[in-house]
């Protein structure tokens, strides 16, 4: 069972890291940004491409991969997302999904359609109650908690964080104070994209990377946001770890149903706490 918990917290941690940007974009701009999945995939592929450049040093390659994915998110924000502010949510879904499709084809064009393995950068395990748990997974869990605490402090203590929290609740009221709230939402968009890229980087060594990996994560992010609440920072964390555990426990008994169970939970939440999209 400890293995299941470790797996659930690992998946939950990655889900949290990726979902936070998706949730903030959803909550602040009312935009369902499916292109978020593309940044996640670009992060993973950039890691794959940069590992040889960094002479196999995972940390350096990861930092370079995040930096490499930022221009992609900047272009998406400037030329797609920013033009969708205040527009119908349908346009955002169609436009960002189109960006994801185009991006997936570009990845296939550059790296091919076959899955690519990335080896575990730590390569050792920790013994725990007669179980061998890969240290890399424990690092992911620790990193996700660290990001959760850092973001909590950022949104509670920094002026940028406070502006974003206020803007999520009442965009007009922030504008009435003389604050260009869109500028701060753009900063948060880039921050969220960097985290999406980090999520792809962290996920790579757990599984294999493939051009379609962005599709799966973005649907899972969608479920997290529905369960946790749009732009709800604490809700996103709770939903991510909860759904990660749901996936892990379901996979333990019935592997094929792990993803489906996430959407069962989402459906139950929608039945008992309907939201207006």
Partner 1 sequence: MLLNVDAINVHYGSAQVLHDVSINVKERELTCIVGRNGAGKTTLLKTISGFLKPTRGTVTFEDRTISGMRPDKVALLGVKYVFQDKRVFGDLTVRDNMELAAYPIKANLDEAIERLFSISGKMKKLIDSKAKGLSGGERQILLIGRALAGSPKLLLIDEPTEGLAAIVINDIARILMEMKGRLSMVVVEQNLAIVSRMADRVYIMKEGNVLREITEEAEIRDQAYIESLL
Return residues touching partner 1 (CB under 8 A): 159, 162-163, 165-166, 169-170, 172-181
- Smallest distance, partner 1 to C-beta of residue 173, A: 5
> Please, what is the minimum distance in Å from the beta carbon of residue 183 to partner 1?
9
Paired tokens of 126: 């920790």
Closest separation in Å from C-beta 187 to partner 1: 15
Q: How far is the CB of 270 from partner 1 (least distance, A)?
A: 24
CB contact at 8 A, 126 and 133: yes
CB closer to partner 1 out of 40 and 184: 184
Token output for 222: 């969608």
Nearest residue (CB) to partner 1, 52 versus 178: 178
| 103/167 with CB nearer partner 1 | 167
Would you give the DSSP letter of residue 121?
S
For residues 118 and 181, which CB has a smaller minimum distance to partner 1 in the complex?
Answer: 181
Instruction: Choose between 193 and 232: whose C-beta lies nearer to partner 1.
Output: 232
CB 35 within 8 Å of CB 96: yes
Distance CA 15, CA 196 (A): 9
Shortest distance, position 155 Cβ to partner 1, whole Å: 9
Shortest Cβ 229–partner 1 spacing (Å): 12
Of all helices (H) and strands (E), which one includes residue 208?
Answer: strand 208-209
Q: Are 2 and 129 in contact (CB under 8 A)?
A: yes
State how far the alpha carbon of 258 is from the alpha carbons of 38, 61, 245, 246, 247, in Å: 23, 31, 10, 8, 5
DSSP 8-state class, residue 223: H
Burial of 101 (0-12, 13-18, 19+ CB in 10 A): middle
Considering beta carbons, is residue 49 or 160 the nearer one to partner 1? 160
């Amino acid at each position: 069972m400890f293995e299941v918990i470790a797996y659930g917290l690992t998946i939950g941690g990655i889900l949290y890291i990726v979902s936070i940007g998706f949730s903030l974009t959803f909550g602040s701009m009312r935009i369902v940004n499916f292109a978020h999945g593309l940044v996640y995939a670009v992060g993973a592929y950039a890691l794959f491409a940069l590992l040889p450049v960094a002479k196999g040093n995972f940390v350096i390659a990861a930092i370079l991969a995040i930096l490499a994915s930022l221009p992609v998110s900047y272009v998406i924000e400037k030329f797609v997302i920013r033009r969708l502010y205040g527009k119908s949510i349908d346009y955002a879904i169609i436009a960002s999904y189109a960006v994801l499709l185009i991006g997936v084809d570009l990845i296939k064009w550059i790296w091919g359609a076959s899955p690519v393995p990335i080896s575990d950068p730590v390569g050792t395990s920790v013994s725990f109650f007669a179980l061998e748990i890969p240290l890399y997974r424990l690092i992911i869990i620790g990193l996700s908690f660290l990001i959760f605490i850092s973001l909590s402090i950022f949104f509670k203590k920094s002026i940028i964080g406070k502006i974003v929290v206020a803007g999520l609740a009442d965009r007009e009221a922030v504008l009435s104070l003389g604050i260009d709230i869109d500028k701060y939402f753009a900063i948060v968009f880039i921050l969220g994209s960097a985290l999406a890229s980090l999520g792809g980087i962290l996920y790579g060594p757990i599984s294999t990377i493939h051009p379609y990996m962005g599709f799966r994560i973005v649907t899972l992010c969608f479920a997290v946001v529905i369960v946790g609440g749009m732009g709800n920072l604490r809700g996103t964390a709770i939903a991510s770890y909860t759904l990660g555990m749901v996936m892990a426990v379901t996979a333990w008994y019935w592997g094929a149903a792990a993803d489906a169970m996430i959407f069962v939970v989402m459906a139950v939440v929608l039945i008992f706490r309907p939201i207006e999209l």
